């Protein structure tokens, strides 16, 4: 560890402008990470990732463990080499699958037994396994193995899970030996303030390279979501990165930035793009609607992405109606670039001490619905 350096450049109230340096890469924060679950951001190649100005992408340990397997990725020279990507990569730990595959897994002190979603094979992952897999994947930043706790859950359940996550964090930390790979701890504790505080303080004692807030955006209301951040962030060190896992709605991202979060990831922008739903400066639209069949205007006149600079709504409508894969690529490019532009704007606003005004302007004039897109 200790190959990661975080520099706090400027602060506007609690919102932070910073820089992460790792393995020769410099990552401006706040930043949004596209999700490349299986060593690919769906429908995009490495040139697209560069063109949308993504500074960091995320890969999924569980899915890469199943296929092609960590040994194959290691033989290829690591995940970045495997996918022909020249940039930093963060891998999650498999902890989200403990939540998302709840009907196919069993948790005990040793780790988690999964039934493969591919063929039903019985699989077992311990905290040490998660770390060793991530080391073989060769990511720049690895995550501790944890349980992403469902909402709502009883106090007793959350307490037992959080204490186990802390024990797993220590085991993973002890197992981690890759000098050029940073390791982040993940704060759990559900909606319970005392458990969030205890988990954060115990992880900070272990001295991870950065800290994530986990277990948010798992079905809770907005008020509870934002309280989870408040209950956690005040116990995290100011000189290390802060990462909220799994958020992609604009209002959630801007609120988290306001509270002092530096990093975000979510499948939302690419997932909704594959269904024809787009985030635009005029609000959310569904490109499959018939009103766009003869609309020859750009998708979003304020956007600088390849899609908006070169293609009309009519053409994009045609691609989706004809079930052409190019539509998935072009809309995914737009949605990702849209979110990255929002975060770029946030960085500029923090630097100029006008972040709250920026947030208010974005949310008021872009007409997002309650989901944030």
The answer to whether 272 and 328 are in contact (CB under 8 A) is no
Interaxial angle between packed helices 355-365 and 325-351, expressed in degrees from 0 to 180 and rounded to the nearest 10: 150
Rounded to 5°, the CA angle 348-349-353 comes to 125
Cis peptide before 30 (omega within 30 of 0): yes
Structure letter (DSSP) for residue 88: -
The answer to whether 153 and 171 are in contact (CB under 8 A) is no
Pairing of strands 283-286, 182-187: unpaired
**Could you say which of 48, 146, 265, 300 is catalytic?**
265
Report how far apart, in Å, the C-alpha atoms of 44 and of each of 81, 170, 243, 301, 369 are.
Answer: 16, 36, 24, 22, 27
Q: What is the DSSP string of 276-322?
A: TEEEETTEEEETTSGGGTT--SBS-TT--SHHHHH-BHHHHHHHHHT
**Could you say which of 92, 129, 140, 231 is catalytic?**
92
Closest by CA position to 43, among listed 268, 303, 273, 279: 273
Q: Residue 220 phi/psi, 5° resolution? A: -75, 160
Q: Which two tokens stand for residue 366?
A: 């872009």
- Residue 310: partners with Cβ closer than 8 Å, 6 or more residues away: none
CB atoms within 10 A of CB 309: 10
H/E segment holding residue 19: strand 15-22
* Separation between Cα atoms, residue 146 and residue 186, nearest integer Å: 7
Residue 286, beta-bridge partner list: 277
Provide the strand spans (E) within 42-121: 57-59, 89-91, 105-107, 112-115
Q: For this structure, is 361 an active site residue?
A: no
Q: For this structure, is 129 an active site residue?
A: no
Active site residues: 92, 265
């Amino acid at each position: 560890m200790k190959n990661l350096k975080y520099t706090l450049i400027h602060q506007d109230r609690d919102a932070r402008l910073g820089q992460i340096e790792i393995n020769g890469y410099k990552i401006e924060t706040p930043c949004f990470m596209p999700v490349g679950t299986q060593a690919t951001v769906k429908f995009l190649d490495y040139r697209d990732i560069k063109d949308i100005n993504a500074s960091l992408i995320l890969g999924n340990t569980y899915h890469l463990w199943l296929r092609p397997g960590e040994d194959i990725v290691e033989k290829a020279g690591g995940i970045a080499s495997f996918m022909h990507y020249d940039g930093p990569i963060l891998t999650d730990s498999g902890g989200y699958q403990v939540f998302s595959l709840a009907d196919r897994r069993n948790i005990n002190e040793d780790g988690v037994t999964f039934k493969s979603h591919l063929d039903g094979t019985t699989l077992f992952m311990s905290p040490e396994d998660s770390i060793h897999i991530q080391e073989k994947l060769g990511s720049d930043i690895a995550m501790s193995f944890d349980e992403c706790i469902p909402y709502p859950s009883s106090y007793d359940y959350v307490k037992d899970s959080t204490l186990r996550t802390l024990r797993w964090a220590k085991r993973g930390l002890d197992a981690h030996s890759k000098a050029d790979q940073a390791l982040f701890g993940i704060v759990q504790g559900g909606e319970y303030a005392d458990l969030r505080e205890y988990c954060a303080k115990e992880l900070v004692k272990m001295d991870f390279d950065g800290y994530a807030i986990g277990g948010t955006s798992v079905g809770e209301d907005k008020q509870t979501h934002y309280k989870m951040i408040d209950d956690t962030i005040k116990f995290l060190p100011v000189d290390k990165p802060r990462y909220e896992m799994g958020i992609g709605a604009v209002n959630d991202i801007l609120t988290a930035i306001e509270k002092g979060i530096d990093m975000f990831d979510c499948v939302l922008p690419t997932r909704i793009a594959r269904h024809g739903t787009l985030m635009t400066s005029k609000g959310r639209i569904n490109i499959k609607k018939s009103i766009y069949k003869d609309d020859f205007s750009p998708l979003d006149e304020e956007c600088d992405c390849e899609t908006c600079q070169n293609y009309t709504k009519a053409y994009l409508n045609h691609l989706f109606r004809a079930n052409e894969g190019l539509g998935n690529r072009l809309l995914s490019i737009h949605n990702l670039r849209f979110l990255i532009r929002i975060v770029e704007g946030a960085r500029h606003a923090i630097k100029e001490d006008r972040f709250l005004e920026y947030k208010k302007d974005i949310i008021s004039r872009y007409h997002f619905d309650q989901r944030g897109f």
